[in-house]
Structure 1
């Protein structure tokens, strides 16, 4: 069997675009040339990699399996280039990160601003993903590492905890829940909620918890971000379940009260997850160190 890195790179582009034309464009090839290369690649492997339809292409089971290996191979090639670029200095490279809503909106912007400010040769791709997609992305090589919170049961990952946070109920001044002790999440469901946008990790987590108690989340409005959520809560639109770190920050400028939840899951451990820390390039290792150090002096 013989194939080159260009074949793998083209295959990844087509798979991620779900389109031969889109993948060819990313690989700087004509559609015809890309089609020829993919067919030749399938012939060498003795397996069909894509189902072709009027709306694009879809991976076959063999293609799904190959994508995991192809991503891992290409990431190792990128790591190799990064480590040997400028004699292995940590000031160059491209880092891909999958993170949950809290990380993307709360602390990663400040961490990345500090990190990138002194490293002009580094580029970063930060994407918000659901927890399960963070794990899968790291395992499949779509991300160098992930930033998440809560219990981690996925095998094959190295987990590096770095701080604690708590989910709390945020209510407007004068709300009936103000000052409540031993409040359970299910007891908040009689009030309208202000929730985050569809696809946010926090919203998906709360929907899961609600379904387990046989209820539905009474969403009155959904917004993008914790600050808009707090503004809605302050205005009396509803109550919200937010990270305590965010609630405390916005409480300094808004008329809000914070009520603790007694649910065990409300206290969450934040972690960086990687497939294999020692195989990461120095730039990624240094960024992970920055994330963990940031929280050690912030808390």
Structure 2
């Protein structure tokens, strides 16, 4: 069995493109040369990797498995290159992060701003993803690290806990529920809700919990950030369910009432997912260390 790094990178580019021609173009190769390389690769592996037809290419089951391994190998090659740049091991490289809604919009921007300001040779690709896609991305090597909240089914991955938050209910100061200390999710459903936009992890999670009660969210409006949700609540548009850390911050400048959510799933453990911490380059390990120290410093301040 023989294949080189050019074959691996070419296969990844074809797998991520709608056609052999476009994948070959990304690899700066003619379609004929790319096709010949893929054919030799399939012969070497004794497995068909791609279905080809007039509409483009599609991965076979063997191709899906090979893509997973190819991504991991090429990412390790990129890690090795970055470790030996002129800037030094912790001062250069590219980091891809898949994160849930809270991480991507609330605390990651602050952490990454300081991290990148001190490392001009580092670039970051931050993508908001659903929990299942975060786990899958770390597993198949399409992302370096994942940031996730809540229970995790991630066999084969390392899970590094770094923060604990909880979901709470926020209402306007004059809302009928404003004097409550605790409240069940079902008790909020007769009132208009303000939610995040479709596709976010938190909205999906809340819809799943509401569905278990046989009801639906009384959604009045959906917005794109927790700050926008808080402003809508303050204006009396409705109530909302958001992480307590976000609610406490915005409560300092807005008229909001915070009510404890009396549900066993309200606590949200935040974790970092990686395939193998020791195999990651120094720059990514440095970022993970900042995650851990950032949370510890915040707890001391509070």
TM-score tier, shorter chain, comes to over 0.9
Aligned to 1:279: 279
Q: Structure 1 stretches of 5 or more lacking a match?
A: none
More displaced 10-residue stretch of structure 1: 254-263 or 232-241: 232-241
TM-score by length of 2: 0.93
Shift of 1:55: 4.3
Aligned to 1:27: 27
Aligned to 2:166: 166
Shift of 1:183: 0.8
Shift of 1:54: 4.7
How many residue pairs align between the two structures? 299
Aligned to 2:133: 133
Aligned to 1:249: 249
Aligned to 2:227: 227
SS, match of residue 64 in structure 1: helix
Aligned to 2:7: 7
Aligned to 1:218: 218
Shift of 1:202: 0.6
More displaced 10-residue stretch of structure 1: 81-90 or 287-296: 81-90
Shift of 1:88: 5.6
More displaced 10-residue stretch of structure 1: 260-269 or 84-93: 84-93
The CA deviation string for residues 146-179 of structure 1, in whole angstroms up to 9 with x for no partner, is 1111122321111111111111111122111112
TM-score by length of 1: 0.94
CA distance in 2, matches of 1:143, 1:251: 35
Task: Describe the shift of the 1:87–1:246 C-alpha distance in structure 2 as closer, same or farther (beyond 3 A).
Answer: closer
Shift of 1:220: 1.8
SS, match of residue 85 in structure 1: coil
Contact kept, 8 Å, 2:233 with 2:239, in 1: the verdict is: yes
Aligned to 1:71: 71
The CA deviation string for residues 32-67 of structure 1, in whole angstroms up to 9 with x for no partner, is 433333233223323222233554332211111111
Shift of 1:9: 0.8
Shift of 1:258: 1.2
CA distance in 2, matches of 1:92, 1:211: 46
Q: Structure 2 stretches of 5 or more lacking a match?
A: none
Q: CA RMSD in A?
A: 1.8
CA distance in 2, matches of 1:54, 1:231: 51
